[in-house]
Chain A
Amino acid sequence: MLNQIIRSPEPSVQTSSHQSYAHWIIGIFGSWFCVWLAGPWLLNSILVRVENPELRAISFREGDTIRWRTEGLATTLIGPQGLPGWLPNGSTNKIVLWGDSQVEGVCVNDQDKIANQIIRESLHSYVKKIDCLPMGRSGTNSSDWREWMPAADELLHPILHCWIVTDLSDLLAIASPSVDSASDDRWHAPSPAVVLWAKRFHGEAFFQSTRNLLFDPQTGRVRTLRWSLGPVTRQGVPASSFTAADVTTAISIRTCEQLEIIHRQFDDRFVILYAPGVPRIAERLRVDHPDDAAWDDLATRMHSKKIPVIDMRASFTARWNREQRLSRGFHNGTPGVGHLNALGNEWISKAIVEFAFGSADSDAINAPPSDRAVVRDNPANSRLATARP
């Protein structure tokens, strides 16, 4: 048997060119057929986005299953309103989470997503049954969240809107779209017919290989080949983080003004959670972040306007010091880099629940950057414990 597999056809038995072509056609198609069969298990699912008239926005298609393989090995069931991993539990006390892919959370299984961990944590620690809706959409920023919030508020009447900010540029976009205009076009129009067709026929393998070949993974644009002579002056990838120097006082003031408007617009049912990627591994383990100075400046302004803020930096660093565990990264990624993992989601969930229902002694909540261990003014704490129906 073994010999039959490895033995080449005898030279005397000359296969005709027709047979040879047939072999090759069958082999190539057969191998790709196997890849097509295995595709749904090995590759990221095709994401279908549809119009959601109730939310007046684009969302995932309810009932779809998303398998994610790039970071983490997770499966997400798209719940009502196209929200990933959301199963309504009938509670009238709702928290709505806004953010980018970190809130979308397709890298972790449904039970590990921030929203579901908040539901569990509030029940476990405060015996409060709440519902939490993950409105996070990959590639979006504060301009989009602000645009989508009124419809969601009208439909859901949440006790709290929480913006989960992992990249400061996403927050600054509200005041200065030119700072970060990376808002993802995919959330402004439903998926084209070809995507629906590919999803229907489980065409993950063909879809992904074609996309890899035709599109530049860095920019998402159609790939162009370079034929000119070098040297090439490398075009840097647009920076997504800002130094204090980049964020002018004017931008900081404008951002704070906009946030104050939102804070008032939603009757103080608004909090910003800041969870940048710290500690991070950059030649060594670093607990600082390039955005620190810009964030501290903005946080001081928000504090003076009594806009509630949860700062996760100290908490993440303390966890590393205590347990040597990081909030980001997966086995099939790089530790400390990329999306929030189940642990990071857990720590964030605890902080949000504590903000909503806990005492005012929390370390991270609304403390001015100069004195993070002490809490001053936290107008939201007591109010949220007696949420409106």
Chain B
Amino acid sequence: MNFAQLEYPVFLFAIVLLVSAARSALQRKWIVLAASFYFYAYWDYRFLGLLLASTLLDWSIGLSLGRTLPASKRRGLLALSLFGNLGTLAFFKYYNFFIESAEAMFSRWGFHSGTLSIVLPIGISFYTFQTLSYTIDVYRRHLTPCRSLLDFSLYVTFFPQLVAGPIVRAIEFLPQLQSSPAVHRCQLYPGLTQLLRGFVKKVLIADQLAVMADAVFATPELYSGPTIAIGVLAYAGQIYGDFSGYSDIAIGSARLLGFELPKNFDHPYLATSITDFWRRWHMTLSTWLRDYLYIPLGGSRHGSIRTYINLIITMLLGGLWHGAAWNFVAWGFWHGLLLAAERATGISSRPKLTEPRPFTWRVGLRIASTFVLVLIGWTLFRTSSIDQFLALWNSLLNWHKGIAWYPPLAIAALTFLAIEHALWMSRLRPLLSLPVEHPLSPWLVGFALAAIALFARAQSQPFVYFQF
């Protein structure tokens, strides 16, 4: 089920009612688990088996790891989990990519192998990382294994975060199941407003910007330089609105059911460095990569050169996680390179901008320069071939005279995003999360509902991160 389709609010409302009517914590868990399986099967029931297999594999390996075993056997169990999870991911997500890449490289020596018609199971990248993190944490003895299959299944399949995150660690989620989560009245308003915020970001911002971004990136050679520049900004706004909107809906939905999911976005376009950007963008992925990839690779413990290499490898694989295509690898490499450069110049140690503060030109310049670097990265991320990438930059840098197109709704959406970011930096930040008793709250909610009802596009775009 897609959060942006009309069925979802009805489904969520029904589940919240059922959960609040349940008499025991056990009943509530069963209801949410059944809802999660239905949520996933609504897209395609045939892949439920894969989800169940992944759940059972890591639950049983976790239990085995919980028993004191020799180190070699523990390593073997960990390897089995890695092989099972990453093998499945590699097959469904990367098989064709590797075959095609190998063919492109070795076809002159007679290498030919057919690709397969493989459907990518939705959310596989996300739930694979979740189950892996559980097994690794149990292996490292940071977590006691979960004995209840019900609890573990709920952790893996919890529907608000199942298909596109946030990537929740077992260490964050399983304790919530112990304290018997329930629908709390005091969580209804925060949950609903977060849900509404997510819908506004998705329906009014991301979907509006997608129209321009899709057109400009598809045929950049047709458009004028200024139009392409706005198109690139539109894509930056689209992907932020889309993914952070999805995360808001997920967090809001979970909150309505009595669960807390981790924050995934923190105004990333206000980052003062690329290091800071990754502390604000898809935070659950960046911390996952840090804890389960960068640090095991050696982190910063083996000298400067190894640190830079580790950063680049981590981001390369992070890029590849996003999709099986070279543009994602290039995007990851770009960010890895920038992170390494920042590490080398000391920029990475700049403090994170957290509190509202008066505007200074120095901070403004840092934000602007970081944003430009991020935009360059987005052009790599969005273009599907090197030719398209070059055509885009050729038209942009030559201020090419083509079709001059300035869609007012896209510009309004970008302006709205800019104002929201400016408010977040200023003393007016509380306006962005007013409590229920504030007199302005109902007005803002009323305007948001009206805007969604009136300006939602006839055909909602699928969430960008669904493809990952």
Which residues of chain A have a CB within 8 Å of any CB of chain B? 2, 5-9, 15, 20, 23-32, 34-35, 42-43, 205, 208-209, 212-213, 217-218, 223, 225-227, 229-231, 281, 283-285, 324, 326, 331-335
**Chain A CB within 10 Å — which of B211, B409, B454 has the most?**
B454
Contact at A5–B6, with CB atoms within 8 Å? no
Contact at B215–A335, with CB atoms within 8 Å? yes
Chain A to chain B contacts (Cβ below 8 Å), 20 pairs: A2-B427, A5-B431, A23-B437, A25-B442, A27-B440, A28-B442, A30-B442, A30-B443, A32-B446, A32-B450, A35-B447, A213-B6, A223-B6, A225-B7, A226-B7, A281-B215, A281-B222, A324-B402, A331-B406, A332-B408
- Minimum CB–CB distance from B105 to chain A (whole Å) comes to 26
A-B contact count (CB 8 A): 119
Residues of A within 8 A of B405 (CB): 331, 335
How far is B88's CA from A130's CA once the two chains are assembled, in angstroms? 73
- B416-466 contacts to A (CB < 8 Å): 427-428, 430-431, 434-447, 450, 453-454, 456, 458-459
Contact at B453–A212, with CB atoms within 8 Å? yes
Smallest CB gap from A26: residue in B = B442
Contact at A6–B430, with CB atoms within 8 Å? yes
Smallest CB gap from A28: residue in B = B446
How far is B402's CA from A326's CA once the two chains are assembled, in angstroms? 11
Contact at B453–A20, with CB atoms within 8 Å? no
Interface string of B395-411 (1 = CB under 8 A from A): 00000011101111100
**Chain B CB within 10 Å — which of A2, A20, A31 has the most?**
A31
- B10 in the interface (beta carbon within 8 A): yes
Smallest CB gap from A3: residue in B = B427
Contact at A283–B446, with CB atoms within 8 Å? no
How far is B231's CA from A334's CA once the two chains are assembled, in angstroms? 12
Residues of A within 8 A of B402 (CB): 324
**Chain A CB within 10 Å — which of B42, B447, B450 has the most?**
B450
- Minimum CB–CB distance from B230 to chain A (whole Å) comes to 12
- B119-171 contacts to A (CB < 8 Å): none
How far is B29's CA from A341's CA once the two chains are assembled, in angstroms? 57
- B44 in the interface (beta carbon within 8 A): yes
How far is B207's CA from A315's CA once the two chains are assembled, in angstroms? 35
Smallest CB gap from A73: residue in B = B408
Secondary structure type dominating chain B contacts: helix
Residues of A within 8 A of B445 (CB): 27-28, 31
Known: A30-B442, A230-B41, A230-B45. 16 other contacts (CB 8 A): A5-B431, A6-B427, A6-B431, A8-B437, A23-B437, A23-B442, A28-B442, A31-B450, A212-B453, A213-B6, A217-B459, A218-B458, A281-B215, A332-B409, A334-B215, A335-B405
How far is B29's CA from A331's CA once the two chains are assembled, in angstroms? 50
Known: A217-B458, A223-B6. A20 touches B45 (CB 8 A): no
Q: B408's contact among A26, A226, A331, by CB below 8 Å, is which?
A: A331
Contact at A30–B446, with CB atoms within 8 Å? yes
Lowest 5 A-B CB distances belong to which pairs?
A: A27-B442, A31-B446, A217-B458, A209-B453, A231-B44
Residues of B within 8 A of A25 (CB): 442
How far is B227's CA from A324's CA once the two chains are assembled, in angstroms? 15
How far is B6's CA from A5's CA once the two chains are assembled, in angstroms? 34
Q: A8's contact among B6, B7, B427, B434, by CB below 8 Å, is which?
A: B434
How far is B434's CA from A20's CA once the two chains are assembled, in angstroms? 14
Q: A227's contact among B7, B45, B454, by CB below 8 Å, is which?
A: B7
How far is B59's CA from A330's CA once the two chains are assembled, in angstroms? 56
How far is B454's CA from A213's CA once the two chains are assembled, in angstroms? 9
Contact at A229–B222, with CB atoms within 8 Å? no
Contact at A8–B435, with CB atoms within 8 Å? yes
Residues of B within 8 A of A30 (CB): 442-443, 446
Known: A35-B450, A209-B454, A284-B219. A335 touches B431 (CB 8 A): no
How far is B451's CA from A34's CA once the two chains are assembled, in angstroms? 12
How far is B430's CA from A213's CA once the two chains are assembled, in angstroms? 32
Contact at A20–B427, with CB atoms within 8 Å? no
How far is B283's CA from A145's CA once the two chains are assembled, in angstroms? 60
- Minimum CB–CB distance from A139 to chain B (whole Å) comes to 16
Residues of B within 8 A of A326 (CB): 403
The range of chain B's interface size is 35 or more
How far is B221's CA from A285's CA once the two chains are assembled, in angstroms? 9
- Minimum CB–CB distance from A326 to chain B (whole Å) comes to 7
Residues of B within 8 A of A230 (CB): 41-45
Contact at B443–A31, with CB atoms within 8 Å? yes
Contact at A334–B6, with CB atoms within 8 Å? no
- B46 in the interface (beta carbon within 8 A): yes
Contact at A283–B443, with CB atoms within 8 Å? no
Residues of A within 8 A of B443 (CB): 27, 30-31
Known: A5-B431, A6-B428, A334-B211. A281 touches B453 (CB 8 A): no
- Minimum CB–CB distance from A205 to chain B (whole Å) comes to 6
Residues of B within 8 A of A29 (CB): 446
How far is B48's CA from A231's CA once the two chains are assembled, in angstroms? 12
Residues of A within 8 A of B454 (CB): 35, 42-43, 205, 208-209, 212
Contact at B45–A281, with CB atoms within 8 Å? no
How far is B437's CA from A2's CA once the two chains are assembled, in angstroms? 18
- Minimum CB–CB distance from B377 to chain A (whole Å) comes to 24
How far is B456's CA from A7's CA once the two chains are assembled, in angstroms? 32
Residues of A within 8 A of B434 (CB): 8
- B52 in the interface (beta carbon within 8 A): no
- B373 in the interface (beta carbon within 8 A): no
Contact at A8–B215, with CB atoms within 8 Å? no
Smallest CB gap from A212: residue in B = B453
Known: A231-B46, A326-B403. A225 touches B10 (CB 8 A): yes
- Minimum CB–CB distance from A385 to chain B (whole Å) comes to 38
Contact at B442–A31, with CB atoms within 8 Å? yes
Residues of B within 8 A of A23 (CB): 437, 439, 441-442
- B104 in the interface (beta carbon within 8 A): no
Known: A35-B450, A213-B453. A231 touches B43 (CB 8 A): yes
How far is B444's CA from A26's CA once the two chains are assembled, in angstroms? 12
How far is B437's CA from A27's CA once the two chains are assembled, in angstroms? 11
- B218 in the interface (beta carbon within 8 A): yes
Contact at B403–A8, with CB atoms within 8 Å? no
Contact at A229–B45, with CB atoms within 8 Å? yes
Residues of B within 8 A of A335 (CB): 215, 222, 403, 405
- Minimum CB–CB distance from B369 to chain A (whole Å) comes to 31
- Minimum CB–CB distance from B251 to chain A (whole Å) comes to 22
Residues of B within 8 A of A205 (CB): 450, 454
How far is B53's CA from A233's CA once the two chains are assembled, in angstroms? 26
How far is B437's CA from A334's CA once the two chains are assembled, in angstroms? 43
- Minimum CB–CB distance from B448 to chain A (whole Å) comes to 9
Residues of A within 8 A of B437 (CB): 8-9, 15, 20, 23
How far is B439's CA from A24's CA once the two chains are assembled, in angstroms? 8
